[in-house]
Chain A
Amino acid sequence: MYSNKVIDHGTPARPGPATVTVQIDGAAVTVPAGTSVLRAAVDAGVRIPKLCATDSLEAFGSCRLCLVEVEGRRGFPASCTTPCEPGMRVRTQSKRLADLRRGVMELYISDHPLDCLTCPANGNCELQDMAGVTGLREVRYGQDGANHLTGAKDTSNPYFSFDPTKCIVCSRCVRACDEVQGTFALTVQGRGFDSKIAAGPVDFMASECVSCGACVQACPTATLIEKSIAEQGQPDHAVVTTCAYCGVGCSFRAEMKGAEVVRMVPHKDGKANHGHSCVKGRFAWGYATHPDRIRTPMVRDRITDPWREVTWDEAIAHAAREIRRIQDRHGRDSVGGITSSRCTNEETYLVQKLVRAAFGNNNVDTCARVCHSPTGYGLKTTLGESAGTQDFDSVEHSDCIVVIGANPTDGHPVFASRMKQRLRQGAKLIVVDPRRIDLVRTPHVVADFHLQLRPGTNVAVLNALAHVVVTEGLAKEDYVRARCEAAEYEKWKTFIALPKNSPEALEAETGVPAAQIRGAARLYATAGNAAIYYGLGVTEHSQGSTTVMAIANLAMATGNIGRPGVGVNPLRGQNNVQGSCDMGSFPHELPGYRHVADAATRERFAARWGVTLQDEPGLRIPNMFDAAIDGSFKALYVQGEDIAQSDPDTQHVQKALESLECLIVQDIFLNETAKYAHVFLPGSSFLEKDGTFTNAERRISPVRKVMPPLAGLADWEVTMALANALGYPMHYRHPAEIMAEIAELTPTFAGVSYDKLDRLGSIQWPCNDAAPEGTPVMHEQQFVRGKGRFVVTDYVATPERTSRRFPLILTTGRILSQYNVGAQTRRTGNTAWHRADELEIHPHDAEQRGIRDGDMVSLQSRKGETTLRAVVTERMQPGVVYTTFHHPESGVNVVTTENSDWATNCPEYKVTAVQVVLQAHKSDWQLGFAQAAEQQIGLLPGRARRGEGG
C-alpha cells in the first residue's frame, strides 16, 4: 500500500467551480460539488475509518466501515458513496457507529492471520490501523470456523507477491487494474464466501498483468506487497524524485532506509503521472546498485590493453592531456562531445558548455539526433517551438486521439493508461502504424480506424488525410486566417488538393484503403478536440522532418492547436531527451534552440562564459563517425550514451570508434561504447545526484540525491573537473547554480529556479515573466513564431526499397519491460518478461520460408546479418518484420542502414530492406562480438570483472 504517512482522501477529487458546504462533526467545510462525505471529512480534519476506499479509485461502498449518521436521514450511509449536499449535517462518531464498525472489523479479523509482528506490512497496514481505530479488543467468533487462512502464496512475479490468506477482498487491486492501469488483469473469482482475488485462471506471471504496481499500491494489507519490503522492512524516510526511464517523467517517492532504497512508489502529487507508474520506474531500479557498476576511474593507452584503475585526479588529468595533445596536433575541431538524454539538464548544459567553451568548437551532439531531431526541426519550422504543445492532462479533454508511429502501452505506459481512461469514456481513436499495436484492440478499447500503412509512407498517409480535409471543405478557414501565414497556407492548400495526394491515388503506395483514410480524416477534422500523439515511427525515417511538418499542417488546418484537448505531441523516448535538446546539445544551437549564427545570442553566451564562440555549426554524430574514419576527428567525450549499440550500421560505428585516438566514456556500466574507450569515468545514477529532468510535456521536474555517488562524484562534478583540468574554470557548488545560469541565459527558462521547483513541484517551460508558473498549453493566443507556417510536404519514397534479394521491410522498436539499449533493465528482474530480442514475422511470410514459431532465423540486409529467434504473429502485416534493440548480442543495428532524415540526419531505423531465412548458428558479427566482449571483460581489473561476470 501507499505510505500511511501520506493522507489518503478516500475518494478522488471532483474539481469544479460549484461548491457545497456541509457540517462534519459540527465543523463547516466547503468542498467542490460532487465530493464525497468521506473526502470532505478529510478536508475538515476528520479521518473516518475505511478499508475499501482510497483516493485513486472511485468509491465502491463494500467494506461498511466508513458509515456515518446524517441528520434527518435514516440508517447509516457509507460516507464514500454519499455525495455532500448543501447543509448536510454529518456525525462521524457515535456509540452506534462505533459498535457497527467494531462489528465489521471483528468479522474481518475472524478470518485474518494474527501474525502482525512478523507481517511485512507491519507498520504500514490499513487493516492494522483500522483495528486500532475501531478499538477491536476481541474476536468472539474465534479463528476455527471456515476460513481462508491456508491459501497458497503466488510469488510468480519477480517484484511482488500475492498472499490470499491476508486478503480482505476489498477489490481495491481489481479496481486499480481496471480504472487506473486499464489492463483488467484481475478479478474476483467465485462469489460469497468463496470470493478470491485472481489474475484470471492463471498465476500473476502467466496472466495479462503488466506489473505496473497499481494493485500493490492499492492493497490495504500485506496481500499484495513488494518483495523488497518483505526482504528489507519498512522505509524510514522518503524523497520525492523523478523517474529516469521514459519521457513521461513520472514523479516518484524513493522510500529509503538510510541511503538504501527500499521501494519506489509513484508520487500522488506528481503532475505527469498522478500517482501511477509502470514496471520500469516502479520496480526496475535495482540496476543502480548492481555489481556491474564501475566504481573507479580507469585508463589505458590502447583498447587492447588491460584497464588500469586510477584516482579521479589522474583520470581527469589524463583525459585533459589527451584532448589538448590531439587538438595541438590535429586542430581545435578534431575533438567533440556527446551529451546524454539520461543525464540531468544541468549536466547536459555543462557538457555542451565544456565543448563550446573549453574544447572551443561546436562539435556537440546528443542522442536526440537518432530519435527526435526531426521533431525539433519540424515543429520549430511550423509552430516556432521545438516541443510538444500540450500537457498530459490535456488528453482528458480530447474527443479524438490520433496515435502515429508510437506504441504508448509499451513505450509510454503511464501516459497510455491516461489515454485509455479517456478512450473508455468514449473518445475516438485513430492508429497509424504498420503493426497492430496493442492500442488497436485491447480490453475495453478498440481503435475506430487502424491505418496499417507500409513502413516509410507516413508522409503519403498524412498528405492523403490533409487532402480529404481540404477538398471536402473540412478545414477551419477562420482559424487559419486568424493564426497562420496566408500565402503559405494558400500554397500548401493548392499542393495538398492535387489529385496525386488523394487517398485513392496513394492507396497503392501506402497500402491503406482510401475509404479508411477518408473516414479517419473526417473523424479527425470534425470530432471536436482532436489531438495527435506521435513517436519514433514518425521521426526515424528519411522523411522524418517532413512527417512532423505534415502533422503540424494537419493540426493547424483543422484548428487543433492552442487549447486543452488538442495539439501535436511528440512522445519523447528518454527521460530527458526534451531537456537535452533544450540545453543546447545540438551542434547548431545554443540553449533555448537559438542558432549559433545568431550573433546577439552568441555574444551573450560568449560574454557570460568569457570565451569567443564559433559561429558555424559543428559536427553531428554521423558526421563525427565519418570524420573519425577520414582521420580528421580524433577524440570524443561521451556522457551516458551507448552509441556502439544504439546507432545504426554498427560496423560503421565500430570502425569510427576504433579510429579515435582518445575515447572518453562516462557511464554507470562498461557499455558497448566503453569497450572502445581509453578513459572510463564512472557515472552516477539518477539516485546519486541533484538536478532536473524535462519530460515530453516540457515539464521540468526535480531529481534528488538519495544516496552518495557510488564512485564518489556526480556526473556534473566530473564534467566540471574535466573543464578545470583543461584550464577552463567551472566552479558550481550545486546544480542549482547551474540552473541559475541557464535561467539567466535562456528566455524560456528565465523564471525557473530550484526554489520555485521546490514550491511548485514541477514547472512546464516556457517559464518567465509572461508565465511565471509555466505553460501547460502552448500557442494559446498565437504561435510562438507569430503566424503558423504551412510547409509543402512532397512525398518522396525512401531510397531503401525491397528487392528480390531483400524482399521484406524491417522496422524496429521497443517493448514494455526493456528500455532502450537495456543497460539498466537487463540488470533487473525485468528479464523475466524479455530475455532476448525476437523477430516478429507474419504467418504468411513465415510459412513461405518454412519458419515456425520459435525457430532461429538469420536477418540479413545489405549492411550485415544477425541471428535471432522468430515469433510468428498476426500483429505484423505481410511483408514487414519487426524487432527490438535491447540486447547488444542481437546486433539489430548491424542490419540497419546509413539512410537518414534529409534535414536532421536522424537515422532511418524504421525501414530496412531485409531477408529472413532459417539459420541455426550465429552470424559472423555475433561470434566476433561475443569474442570481443569476453576479451574486454578480461581487460577489467579483478574487482570490476567479478561484477561484470555476475
Chain B
Amino acid sequence: MHESRSQAVPVDPAAERAAIEAAIEQCRDLRGATLPMLHAIQDRLGYVPAAAVDAIAAACNLSRADVHGVLTFYHDFRTAPPGRHVLKVCRAEACQAMGCERLERHLADRCGIAMRGTTADGALTVEPVYCLGNCALSPSVLLDGRLHGRVTPERLDALLAAAEARA
C-alpha cells in the first residue's frame, strides 16, 4: 500500500460506501475473500478508503489489524484517490539498464512530481513498479493499464498528452 495524497483529488464518502458494500457483496462467498475485496474496491474507486478496513474485517470476521496488514503489504493498493491517470514506471533491472531513471527525472522536471506523487491539478499519479515482464522492450511504463515499451521522455510526453486529450 502507499499513500498518494493530493488535495486535488476529492473523495466522495457516499461513493466510497457504495463501492465497499458492492465489493463485499461480490466477494463474500469466496474463500480468503480479503484480497479479492480489496481489489474489487480499488477497481471501483481507484483506491481503498480507510472505511474499507473495518467493513472487510466485519464481513470476513477478521480483526482490523488483519486487514490492515494485508492492505499495507501490497504496494499496488492505494489509500487515497490517484490522479485521473496512473503511470507506473518500471524500475526493475532491465529498465534501469535502459534508462528508466531518465523517465523519472523527466517527470520530476515536467510535472514536478516524484514517485508516488500526484500532480497538483490531479491529472497524474506516478508509481514505481518492479518488472512489467516487457524487458526486451525496456524501459517500459504502464499508463492507465496499457503497456508501452521503449519509452523515451518524448514518447512519454506524447502518451500523457494523448491520455489527457482522451479524458
Measured CB to CB, the residues of A under 8 A from B are: 183-191, 198-202, 207-208, 441-446
Q: How far is the CA of A444 from the CA of B66 in the complex (A)?
A: 10
Cβ contacts under 8 Å, B1 to chain A: 190
Min CB–CB distance A501 → chain B (angstroms): 34
Q: Are B65 and A186 in contact (CB under 8 A)?
A: yes
Q: How far is the CA of A207 from the CA of B53 in the complex (A)?
A: 12
Most chain A C-beta atoms within 10 Å of own C-beta, residue among B1, B61, B63, B66 = B63
Q: Are B53 and A201 in contact (CB under 8 A)?
A: yes
Q: Is B97 an interface residue (CB 8 A)?
A: no
Interface size class of B (residues with CB under 8 A): 10 to 19
Pick 30 A–B contacts, CB within 8 A, sort by A.
A183-B63, A184-B63, A184-B65, A185-B65, A186-B65, A187-B65, A187-B69, A187-B72, A188-B69, A189-B69, A189-B72, A190-B1, A190-B73, A191-B72, A198-B69, A199-B65, A200-B64, A200-B67, A201-B53, A201-B64, A201-B68, A207-B65, A208-B63, A208-B65, A441-B61, A443-B61, A443-B66, A444-B62, A444-B63, A446-B61
Q: Are B50 and A187 in contact (CB under 8 A)?
A: no
Q: Is B57 an interface residue (CB 8 A)?
A: yes
Q: How far is the CA of A445 from the CA of B66 in the complex (A)?
A: 14
Cβ contacts under 8 Å, A208 to chain B: 63-65
Q: Are A200 and B63 in contact (CB under 8 A)?
A: yes
Most chain B C-beta atoms within 10 Å of own C-beta, residue among A198, A200, A208, A442 = A200
Cβ contacts under 8 Å, B57 to chain A: 443
Cβ contacts under 8 Å, B65 to chain A: 184-187, 198-200, 207-208
Taking A201-B50, A201-B53 as contacts, is the C-beta distance between A443 and B69 under 8 angstroms?
no
Min CB–CB distance A526 → chain B (angstroms): 25
Min CB–CB distance B75 → chain A (angstroms): 8
Q: Are A191 and B64 in contact (CB under 8 A)?
A: no
Min CB–CB distance A565 → chain B (angstroms): 25
B66's nearest neighbour on chain A, judged by CB, is A184
Taking A201-B53, A208-B63, A443-B63 as contacts, is the C-beta distance between A191 and B68 under 8 angstroms?
no
Cβ contacts under 8 Å, A446 to chain B: 61
Overall SS of chain A's interface: loop
Q: How far is the CA of A445 from the CA of B68 in the complex (A)?
A: 19
Q: Are A191 and B73 in contact (CB under 8 A)?
A: yes
Please encode chain B, from 64 to 83, with 1 for each CB lying within 8 Å of some chain A CB and 0 for all others.
Answer: 11111100110000000000
Min CB–CB distance B38 → chain A (angstroms): 14
Q: Which 10 A-B pairs have the closest CB atoms?
A: A187-B69, A184-B63, A200-B65, A187-B65, A443-B63, A200-B64, A200-B68, A189-B72, A190-B72, A201-B68
- Among B66-118, those with CB < 8 Å from A are 66-69, 72-73
Q: How far is the CA of A186 from the CA of B65 in the complex (A)?
A: 6
A186's nearest neighbour on chain B, judged by CB, is B65
Q: How far is the CA of A444 from the CA of B64 in the complex (A)?
A: 12
Q: How far is the CA of A202 from the CA of B64 in the complex (A)?
A: 10
Partner of A184, one of B50, B53, B62: B62
Min CB–CB distance B20 → chain A (angstroms): 15
Taking A200-B53, A201-B50, A201-B53 as contacts, is the C-beta distance between A187 and B61 under 8 angstroms?
no
Cβ contacts under 8 Å, A184 to chain B: 62-63, 65-66
Cβ contacts under 8 Å, A441 to chain B: 61
Taking A190-B72, A200-B68 as contacts, is the C-beta distance between A185 and B63 under 8 angstroms?
yes
Min CB–CB distance A146 → chain B (angstroms): 16
Min CB–CB distance B151 → chain A (angstroms): 27
Q: Are A187 and B53 in contact (CB under 8 A)?
A: no
Most chain A C-beta atoms within 10 Å of own C-beta, residue among B62, B65, B68 = B65
Cβ contacts under 8 Å, B72 to chain A: 187, 189-191, 198
Cβ contacts under 8 Å, A442 to chain B: 61
Min CB–CB distance A208 → chain B (angstroms): 5
Min CB–CB distance B61 → chain A (angstroms): 6
B68's nearest neighbour on chain A, judged by CB, is A200
Cβ contacts under 8 Å, B63 to chain A: 183-185, 200, 208, 443-444
Q: How far is the CA of A185 from the CA of B67 in the complex (A)?
A: 10
Q: How far is the CA of A198 from the CA of B69 in the complex (A)?
A: 8
Cβ contacts under 8 Å, A445 to chain B: 61
Q: How far is the CA of A441 from the CA of B1 in the complex (A)?
A: 28
Cβ contacts under 8 Å, A190 to chain B: 1, 72-73
Cβ contacts under 8 Å, B73 to chain A: 188, 190-191
A190's nearest neighbour on chain B, judged by CB, is B72
Q: How far is the CA of A200 from the CA of B65 in the complex (A)?
A: 4
Taking A190-B73, A198-B68 as contacts, is the C-beta distance between A444 and B61 under 8 angstroms?
yes
Min CB–CB distance B104 → chain A (angstroms): 19
Min CB–CB distance B97 → chain A (angstroms): 22
Q: How far is the CA of A561 from the CA of B3 in the complex (A)?
A: 57
Q: How far is the CA of A202 from the CA of B68 in the complex (A)?
A: 10
Cβ contacts under 8 Å, B67 to chain A: 200
Cβ contacts under 8 Å, A444 to chain B: 61-63
Min CB–CB distance A433 → chain B (angstroms): 18
Q: How far is the CA of A184 from the CA of B65 in the complex (A)?
A: 7
Cβ contacts under 8 Å, A187 to chain B: 65-66, 68-69, 72
Min CB–CB distance A281 → chain B (angstroms): 23
Cβ contacts under 8 Å, A183 to chain B: 63
Q: How far is the CA of A442 from the CA of B73 in the complex (A)?
A: 23
Min CB–CB distance B159 → chain A (angstroms): 30
Min CB–CB distance B35 → chain A (angstroms): 14
Q: How far is the CA of A347 from the CA of B67 in the complex (A)?
A: 50
Q: How far is the CA of A201 from the CA of B65 in the complex (A)?
A: 7
B50's nearest neighbour on chain A, judged by CB, is A201
Q: How far is the CA of A207 from the CA of B57 in the complex (A)?
A: 13
B58's nearest neighbour on chain A, judged by CB, is A441
Q: How far is the CA of A792 from the CA of B24 in the complex (A)?
A: 49
Q: How far is the CA of A921 from the CA of B50 in the complex (A)?
A: 38
Cβ contacts under 8 Å, A186 to chain B: 65
B53's nearest neighbour on chain A, judged by CB, is A201
Min CB–CB distance A247 → chain B (angstroms): 27
Q: How far is the CA of A187 from the CA of B69 in the complex (A)?
A: 5
Q: How far is the CA of A184 from the CA of B63 in the complex (A)?
A: 6
Min CB–CB distance A231 → chain B (angstroms): 28
Min CB–CB distance A148 → chain B (angstroms): 16
Cβ contacts under 8 Å, A188 to chain B: 69, 73
Min CB–CB distance B50 → chain A (angstroms): 7
